[in-house]
């Protein structure tokens, strides 16, 4: 009653001034509320909030926002959860961020490398353009006049066959006896079309040094039977240091390899393992990383034409050469075809040689030797004979063993062989050049070879 009398008194005062207004109604709970407005008897207008009042209002609003944030944070936590869940989520996010940053750095490095290669290719194109202009403007050389031949003067004199034994002795019956001797082939290697025994290996000739650590080990090769669009002078190179070795660099010839100007770069679909790759009839043959799978990759079509496991072959460090490098499977090409040099558990680490079908990679025939693979530094195959090298690091080493697949017999030999840079990770016979190709501690080198042929010389004996 007291509150009602007070309200009534205020309304009477307001009515006296004819400026009061009142409203009465129920709220949502059906409770009666009175609301009214009365003008201030003193202030003609409401003053603006002063500085301290405004700052206080802002502070109260800030505290309210902080409380709301805390309450929202608590509601986001799972029921019964602990702070550890948030820590794990934060750690996972940080790992993802670190991976993204690492991938960005790798991509940036790859972009820089591609830019450098593109610049080198542009320089090479400019050099070729200048060379073309120079050759186009050069006059053709004049051929010297050939004097006419005189038929009587150019005719070789004809003389009867003369031999001291026939001239000074009676022409009685004589026997010609065949005697077989070894005659070395000429140093020019032009007479090596036939097969024979390896007699000697020349001094190493250096063609190029690798640019970075990826080229400490590698393989380089030429196709003895190239397929268009690649010609017989094309040289290929793979740097084999790394876990994802996929790049195959092609050079127009040996000179461009020495200058470091590739004309073709292919990206292999599967990563390559170690230095055992080879080229044959337009295809790259190599071992897939972390497996005994062999792959035939066609260069012209740029796709995998065949893949097959090499039965029971050791891989990824089971039966490597003595220098290591996951050299469990070593592929080779010679006059007889495509070969694989490896070992198996059944052979207990001894070298196994298999002749492969170059199209399907099926094993046609195999030979098991008595030479342990881990006891030799490397091997190569010439004319169906496998030769092994004793050391990869000794400057003056030897070729110490040969196995002939024709006779299924092996024997010890001693042919001097030099490791000029003291870490030879790849030695292969190049059928295209009839030389040995090698990769010795960042250096791409080659060796001339001499082969021995079985020739018959005649000796006469009187009867």
Residue 105, in any domain of the structure: no
Residue 321, in any domain of the structure: yes
Q: Which domain holds residue 423?
A: 196-452
Residue 388, in any domain of the structure: yes
200 contacts: CB under 8 Å, gap ≥ 6: 184, 415, 416, 449, 450
Concatenated DSSP letters of 298-311: ETTTTEEEEEEE-T
Phi-psi region of 93 (alpha: psi -120 to 50; beta: other; left: phi over 0): alpha
Summarize pLDDT for 21-49 with one digit per residue, the tens: 666 777 767 777 666 566 666 666 666 55
Summarize pLDDT for 402-418 with one digit per residue, the tens: 999 999 999 999 999 99
> What is the rounded distance in angstroms from the CA atom of residue 254 to the CA atom of residue 231?
12
Q: Where are the beta strands (DSSP E) in 66-189?
A: 174-184
Residue 206, in any domain of the structure: yes
CA distances from 102 to 89, 91, 242, 243 (A): 20, 16, 17, 16
Residue 189, in any domain of the structure: no
Concatenated DSSP letters of 187-225: TT-TT-SS--EEEEE---EEEEE-SSGGGSSEEEE--SS
Element (H, E) at 289: none
Q: Mean pLDDT for each 10-residue chunk of the chain (463 residues)?
A: 50 51 69 66 61 67 67 50 61 75 76 79 78 70 51 43 39 40 43 76 97 93 96 96 94 95 96 96 97 98 97 96 94 97 96 98 97 97 98 97 97 97 97 97 97 55 41
> What is the rounded distance in angstroms from the CA atom of residue 405 to the CA atom of residue 382?
11
Q: Do residues 38 and 20 lie in contact, with contact meaning Cβ atoms separated by under 8 Å? A: yes
- What pLDDT, on a 0 to 100 scale, did the predictor assign at position 191? 42
- What pLDDT, on a 0 to 100 scale, did the predictor assign at position 151? 44
Residue 191, in any domain of the structure: no
- What pLDDT, on a 0 to 100 scale, did the predictor assign at position 123? 79
Residue 398, in any domain of the structure: yes
> What is the rounded distance in angstroms from the CA atom of residue 108 to the CA atom of residue 117?
14
- What pLDDT, on a 0 to 100 scale, did the predictor assign at position 435? 97
Give the 3-state secondary structure of 395-407. Answer: CEEEEEEEEECCC
- What pLDDT, on a 0 to 100 scale, did the predictor assign at position 142? 57
- What pLDDT, on a 0 to 100 scale, did the predictor assign at position 207? 97
Q: Total structural domains in the chain?
A: 1
- What pLDDT, on a 0 to 100 scale, did the predictor assign at position 415? 97
Nearest CA to 244 out of 226, 211, 225, 268 is that of 268
- What pLDDT, on a 0 to 100 scale, did the predictor assign at position 192? 42
> Which pTM was predicted?
0.59
Which CATH number characterizes residue 331's domain?
2.40.128.630
- What pLDDT, on a 0 to 100 scale, did the predictor assign at position 99? 74
Residue 115, in any domain of the structure: no
């Amino acid at each position: 009653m007291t509150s009602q009398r007070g309200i009534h008194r205020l309304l009477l005062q307001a009515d006296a001034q004819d400026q009061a207004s009142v409203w009465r109604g129920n709220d949502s709970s059906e409770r009666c509320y009175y609301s009214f407005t009365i003008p201030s008897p003193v202030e003609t207008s409401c003053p603006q909030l002063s500085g301290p009042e405004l700052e206080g209002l802002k502070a109260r609003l800030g505290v309210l926002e902080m409380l709301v944030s805390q309450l929202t944070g608590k509601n986001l936590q799972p029921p019964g959860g602990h702070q550890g869940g948030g820590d794990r989520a934060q750690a996972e996010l940080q790992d993802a961020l670190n991976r993204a940053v690492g991938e960005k750095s790798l991509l940036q490095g790859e972009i820089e490398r591609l830019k450098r290669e593109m610049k080198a290719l542009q320089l090479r194109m400019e050099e070729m353009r200048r060379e073309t202009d120079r050759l186009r403007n050069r006059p053709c050389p004049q051929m010297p006049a050939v004097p006419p031949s005189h038929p009587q003067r150019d005719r070789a004199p004809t003389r009867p066959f003369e031999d001291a034994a026939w001239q000074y002795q009676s022409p009685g019956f004589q026997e010609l006896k065949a005697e077989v001797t070894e005659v070395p082939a000429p140093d020019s290697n032009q007479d090596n079309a036939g097969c024979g025994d390896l007699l000697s290996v020349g001094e190493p000739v250096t063609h190029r040094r690798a640019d970075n650590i990826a080229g400490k080990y590698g393989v380089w090769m030429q196709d003895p039977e190239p397929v268009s669009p690649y010609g017989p002078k094309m040289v290929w190179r793979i740097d084999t240091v790394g876990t994802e070795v996929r790049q195959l660099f092609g050079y127009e010839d040996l000179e461009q390899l020495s200058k470091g100007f590739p004309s073709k770069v292919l990206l292999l679909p599967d990563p390559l393992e170690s230095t055992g790759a080879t080229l044959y009839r337009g295809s790259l043959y190599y071992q897939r990383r972390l497996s005994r799978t062999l792959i035939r990759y066609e260069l012209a079509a740029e796709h995998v034409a065949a893949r097959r496991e090499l039965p029971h072959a050791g891989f990824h460090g089971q039966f490597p050469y003595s220098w290591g490098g996951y050299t469990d499977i070593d592929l080779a090409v010679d006059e007889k075809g495509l070969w694989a040099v490896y070992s198996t558990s059944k052979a207990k680490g001894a070298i196994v040689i298999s002749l492969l079908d170059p199209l399907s990679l099926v094993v046609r025939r195999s030979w098991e030797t008595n030479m342990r693979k881990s006891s030799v530094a490397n091997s190569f195959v010439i004319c169906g004979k496998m030769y092994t090298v004793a050391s990869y690091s000794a400057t003056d080493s030897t070729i110490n063993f040969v196995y002939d697949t024709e006779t299924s017999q092996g024997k010890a030999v001693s042919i001097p062989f030099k490791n000029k840079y003291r870490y030879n990770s790849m030695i292969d016979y190049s059928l295209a050049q009839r030389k040995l190709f090698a990769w010795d501690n960042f250096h791409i080198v080659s060796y001339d070879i001499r082969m021995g042929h079985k020739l018959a010389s005649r000796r006469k004996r009187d009867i």
